[in-house]
Structure 1
Amino acid sequence: MNKLSWVLASAPLLFACSQPADNTTTTESKPASAQHTEQKSTMASGTDYHSFSNPDAVRVTHLDLDLTADFDNRELTGTVTLDFDRIQPDADTLIVDTRALDIKQVTANGKAVEFTLGEEDENLGSPLSIALPESASAVTIDYVTSPDASGVQWLTPAQTQGKEHPFLFTQAQAIHARSFIPLQDSPQVRVTYDARIHTPADLLAVMSASNDPDTPRDGDYSFTMPQPVPSYLIALAIGHLEFKPMGERTGVYAEPEILDAAAAEFEDTESMLELTEKTYGPYSWDRYDLLILPPSFPFGGMENPRLSFITPTVIAGDKSLVSLIAHELAHSWSGNTVTNATWRDLWLNEGFTTYLTYRIMEMLYGTDRFNMEAVLGYQSLEADIAALPANDEILAVDLRGRNPDDVFSDIPYEKGALFLRELEQKVGRDNFDAFLMQYFKHFAFQSITTDTFMAYLEDTLLKQYPDRLDKQRIEEWVLKPGIPDGAPVPASDAFDKVDSQRTAWLNGDKPAADIKTVNWTTHEWLYFLNNMPSSLSAAQLKDLDSAFDLTNSHNNEIAHSWLMIAVQNEYKPAWPRLHDYLVEIGRNKLVKPLYRALSQTPEGKAFAKKAFEEAKPGYHPLTVHANEGFVED
């Protein structure tokens, strides 16, 4: 997931629990989060505290899905067959994760078997325990999803670009796959999968699997994912989609109304792919395509293998926000191929991917752009460290008893990348690139822990460069809060010039109209706005807006920064645009800070509540839960 995408609710998600079928009994086991809270002093590396499943006894290896999308009732209905291995030969129970699923029946070898749906945990959902016949190597589960499934959004035609057809998309990270498939929802369990998806005849289904751009639009679609993936990378979308190639191995799916704009914006994707292969090793996933989702998508992007899901808010017309594409592509190495084993280890996905993102952008667009993006990332990290409790500033964070979505901050992304940048600077870029290439090869298609990585680092770089690297320093980066003293600090000559012009304007030495912005990039605009003092006068705000028409900016990132200033300074001429912005965009990174800022005053909170109620029907469930606390009385 792109680091610009991560902002989620810290409050637990609450869901209604499906009732078991008539042939089941419900256990009264203690919720997993309560168990984990009691075990605070005994956290075990590699233990997934966010899954009920039992892969140490019975491990699912393959899924076979057959689902029908019912847009009228907002339900996915059908079956999943789970192939499994008995890690413990005498194991007689398979436990999988569910959330708000209506389990109709479970069969093995063609016969019904007993199953039990356990007590609901507010963060984790409910365990489904299945009695396994001795001869069984697979079970089939008949089920129906909830209309309010946390990992599925159903959009009406009015909420799409074309306004004529409905749309569906899933979002499984971190633990939302269990809301649309009963499975072992842990990143340490990797599965291959096949799927058959039934849709209305005029819609196209696509998945994080093999997609045929020329498939007939007939409402019956089949998919195969031959590489083993963790559950959070299983993804489905259905809509009025068309395809346009961007290169030999890259292309874009989108609604027809934005297809050409998306293909033009992201036309450098093939070059990104080739450059990344040259530096970090072969691409392992056949094709790399993009799916442009409606504006309600709650994130910037999601690295679903073979088909990254992308927000339309990064189509700026000037390629200024395409680092998001570089990020999702980089996940094909760091995250999808080598995966965090638990959500404590998320930094192994996002820190490595953020580091690779900067490197890809530098290779493609040059050092100046790399420096600007690195400075903005560092400032964002500093802001998070100032706001977060110390325990949440640790790369290998303790999340027991909490919603795993809590881990998504700039810590795993930017702090992780900064740590890797220090390693690069100490051993040399060429040597570090060689290390990363071998790392991706060594752990290909595995899910690893922080401890596994630390041991690998000790056996490789620490042995190779004992005079340059220090184990204690590395442990400080990974296991201690904050940024270690002496860490690399990015700098940008371009931003120094922005600073001087901003200072001259703030001092009254020149009006806004005389600030030389004609050649400014989006990054310079963001730096200019994000580093304004918290308090500006009405005259200063009017001067900026009159000179640059910031209230009506078509760049969603620039508009966000300006609207934050407008909220903080109660600049009312921008509030009609603020209302429209909140209603039309569902990306959490853009709307959550605005809701939070508005909630600080009674007038702002009333404004936010009105906008939220209007926007709520079109928001993703994650966006609703992330922001509803800001508008509650």
Structure 2
Amino acid sequence: MAPIDPHSFTDSTHPLATHIALTLYVDFATSTIHGSALLTLPGPYSGPLSLDARSLTIHAVFEPHGSTPILFSLSPPDPIMGCHVTLSLSNQSSFLVLFSTSPSSSALQWLSPEQTFNKRCPFVYTQCQSIHARSVFPCQDTPAARVRYTCLLNLPRRLSAVMSARHLDRRSPLSHEAAALAPDHSSLWCSEERVVEEFVMDQPVPPYLFAFAAGELGFREVGPRTRVYAEAAPELLDGAAREFARTEEMIQQGERLFGPYEWERFDLLVLPPSFPYGGMENPRMVFLTPTVIKGDSSGAQVVAHELAHSWTGNLITNKTNDHFWLNEGFTTYAERRIVESVQGEDIAALNIGIGWRGLNEEMERFKDRMEFTKLKTNQEGVDPDDVYSQVPYEKGFQFLWRIERQIGRPAFDEFLKKYIATFKFQSIDTETFLDFLKANIPGIEKDVDLELWTEGTGIPPDAYEPVSNIYTKIVSLANEFKLGRMPREDEVADWQGQEWELYLENLPKSVEASQVLALDERYRLSESKDYEVKVGFLQLAISSKCRDYYGVVEKTLKEVGRMKYLRPLYTTLVQGPGKEEEKILAERVFAEARDCYHPIAQGVVASILAKHL
């Protein structure tokens, strides 16, 4: 066996599926999906074939029309990769797998009506990055395997669904479609209380970009190729529409910088607060946390990042998670170019400054595991969720920015367009990128230490802290706080969330509790609607043992599930000596809030507590 990915059982000697036809029955009563997956190979194949599965029950495997069974075996579960499904094929070019998910699926979050905004209907959504698609359906779950798919999604009629694919139809169920399901569930398919939503993805995508959500959804039109979806509440939809009103302008700037937008539509779905990320770049249907709706359009920068993935990540994908920087470093660079075009150089400089501080903090986080401060990593035997960080984003950005400074922006823009056109709809590794870089920018390896940047630990000496008037002013004011001077109101009168975020990131890790109280009394940072600001302030309060804010900390941990906020707050509570009261608080809050977090976030918080308690 020769695995092609340290996080997949997919074998390099086996053919990769080119198409998957999915039939999924969404059962809210049991928090499970009963389904079938018809996988098509490039041609007839005989021999063993490996698939990935996690928390799935495989009922049977058949030839395409369900008449002749195909032998299969299932390994004991690996704690990171799940189960190895081995099929025994005999001159077959396709096969049908019948399966059911588990309520413990790591990709799926099932929300009761009480956990939703309107509190009327249940809600379910997926989050498949990095290796969680295998907990929704059996597949070759590696970004090296790009696949087209169709999906029939059977759900309660009062709900609707969206998917990272083109919507074809919403109709009553057809009886012959139920034949693909396990017999115990096929009779339920054609209930009058059910409806089928039909989708197709015609372009080959890695499995982690498979996504759907179902619930009581509404939408607003915000551009010729963009709708904003959310739970059907006017205040939520209107707020999202205002926040993302300039989306079409961003798409046009992306096309100007990086070439044609290949995905036809760029729709947005604002999910419930439990969504564990800021955004997820699912093609045609970006998923977003509601915390990006800030009321000042600054949340659109998350949209700019997910939009940039339309070229770097979705069109060109990292071959394995060891090369994750190819997705996120390029996308962070592209995001900041889009932001600079739409919102100006000062805002882009703030983004870079916030990222620079974040990168330096990650060096401290990984000081005992410096492997994960590299761009090209070795993640064999490591859960990618455990080492998810800002390193591939910010160090990757810094690497590309270094190349831009070396050859000039016009030349780098030309290189980027050629890179995207050359490798679109492919999954590549770091070596492929470096070979292309050296071939198209002759001599670059003499001016930039490519090996140090991609395989070296830490931050290279030619990385660059941003320089701009606004950045310098904010850092200077933060330094003055260390000497006991708070900023005057006239100095911060025009500050929005990003300015405060950068200010807080540049403050000492802990100060006198009286200073924390005085800062909040003047500027009410603990009440900010911008969670970057609120969480930054609460970290300072915890580190300074200013216990006046522990009630706000608890409330925040219970109302959002975004890991960008959970990770620092729980870590600050439990890390370091003399934190017994804080550790008790962290354990209690997690026990009470756990069921409101997505399974991925549950795992991350549990590992933080296990490390420090």
After TM superposition, the score normalised by the length of structure 2 is 0.91
Residue in structure 2 matched with residue 3 of structure 1 by the alignment: none
Equivalent residues of 1:343, 1:407 under 8 A apart: no
In the aligned structure 2, how far is the partner of 1:393 from the partner of 1:206? 37
| CA drift at 1:567 | 0.7
Counterpart of 2:407 (choices 413, 424, 427) is: 427
Equivalent residues of 2:271, 2:290 under 8 A apart: yes
Aligned letter for 2:565? L
Residue in structure 2 matched with residue 39 of structure 1 by the alignment: none
Equivalent residues of 1:98, 1:127 under 8 A apart: yes
Residue in structure 1 matched with residue 394 of structure 2 by the alignment: 414
Matched, 1:599 2:574: yes
Matched, 1:516 2:494: no
Equivalent residues of 1:151, 1:179 under 8 A apart: yes
Q: 1:532 to 1:453 in 2, by over 3 A?
A: same
Residue in structure 1 matched with residue 290 of structure 2 by the alignment: 312
Residue in structure 2 matched with residue 124 of structure 1 by the alignment: 81
Describe how 1:494-505 pairs up with structure 2 within 5 A: 494-505=470-481
Counterpart of 1:226 (choices 170, 178, 202) is: 202
Residue in structure 1 matched with residue 545 of structure 2 by the alignment: 570
Moved more, 294-303 or 513-522: 513-522
Counterpart of 2:360 (choices 379, 382, 386) is: 382
Corresponding pairs, count: 582
Residue in structure 1 matched with residue 28 of structure 2 by the alignment: 71
In the aligned structure 2, how far is the partner of 1:172 from the partner of 1:630? 22
Equivalent residues of 1:75, 1:144 under 8 A apart: yes
Residue in structure 2 matched with residue 8 of structure 1 by the alignment: none
Residue in structure 2 matched with residue 372 of structure 1 by the alignment: 350
| CA drift at 1:513 | 5.9
Matched, 1:172 2:172: no
After TM superposition, the score normalised by the length of structure 1 is 0.89
| CA drift at 1:599 | 1.1
Residue in structure 1 matched with residue 190 of structure 2 by the alignment: none
Equivalent residues of 1:206, 1:238 under 8 A apart: yes
In the aligned structure 2, how far is the partner of 1:613 from the partner of 1:523? 32
CA deviation digits over 1:106-126, x for unaligned, max 9?
101431111111122111011
Q: 1:563 to 1:59 in 2, by over 3 A?
A: same
Matched, 1:579 2:534: no
In the aligned structure 1, how far is the partner of 2:12 from the partner of 2:160? 34
RCO higher in 1 or 2 (8 Å CA, sep ≥ 6)?
A: 1
Matched, 1:528 2:503: yes
In the aligned structure 2, how far is the partner of 1:512 from the partner of 1:486? 32
Matched, 1:342 2:320: yes
SS in 1 for 2:449: helix
Counterpart of 2:339 (choices 357, 361, 367) is: 361
| CA drift at 1:219 | 2.3
Matched, 1:250 2:226: yes
Residue in structure 2 matched with residue 111 of structure 1 by the alignment: 68
In the aligned structure 2, how far is the partner of 1:582 from the partner of 1:491? 35
| CA drift at 1:408 | 2.1
Equivalent residues of 1:605, 1:630 under 8 A apart: no
Equivalent residues of 1:397, 1:407 under 8 A apart: no
Q: 1:549 to 1:471 in 2, by over 3 A?
A: closer
In the aligned structure 1, how far is the partner of 2:397 from the partner of 2:68? 51
Q: 1:92 to 1:253 in 2, by over 3 A?
A: same
Aligned letter for 1:192? R
Aligned letter for 1:232? Y
In the aligned structure 2, how far is the partner of 1:450 from the partner of 1:367? 30
| CA drift at 1:215 | 8.2
| CA drift at 1:93 | 2.1
Residue in structure 2 matched with residue 192 of structure 1 by the alignment: 148
Q: 1:592 to 1:487 in 2, by over 3 A?
A: closer
Aligned-residue RMSD, C-alpha: 2.0
Q: Percent identity?
A: 39
Residue in structure 1 matched with residue 47 of structure 2 by the alignment: 92
| CA drift at 1:54 | 2.6
| CA drift at 1:47 | 2.8
Equivalent residues of 2:273, 2:290 under 8 A apart: yes
| CA drift at 1:214 | 8.8
In the aligned structure 2, how far is the partner of 1:256 from the partner of 1:587? 22
In the aligned structure 1, how far is the partner of 2:380 from the partner of 2:448? 26
Moved more, 173-182 or 542-551: 542-551
SS in 1 for 2:156: coil
Segments of structure 1 that go 5 or more residues without pairing to the other structure are: 1-31, 33-43
Aligned letter for 1:414? E
SS in 1 for 2:121: coil
Residue in structure 2 matched with residue 102 of structure 1 by the alignment: 57
CA deviation digits over 1:502-524, x for unaligned, max 9?
44454345x66646321012121
Aligned letter for 2:374? I
Equivalent residues of 2:479, 2:506 under 8 A apart: no
Moved more, 522-531 or 227-236: 522-531
Q: 1:263 to 1:192 in 2, by over 3 A?
A: same
Equivalent residues of 1:361, 1:370 under 8 A apart: yes
Q: 1:506 to 1:120 in 2, by over 3 A?
A: closer
Counterpart of 1:150 (choices 84, 99, 106) is: 106
Aligned letter for 1:65? L
Q: 1:352 to 1:418 in 2, by over 3 A?
A: same
CA deviation digits over 1:239-289, x for unaligned, max 9?
111121111111111012211111110111111100000111000001000
| CA drift at 1:56 | 3.2
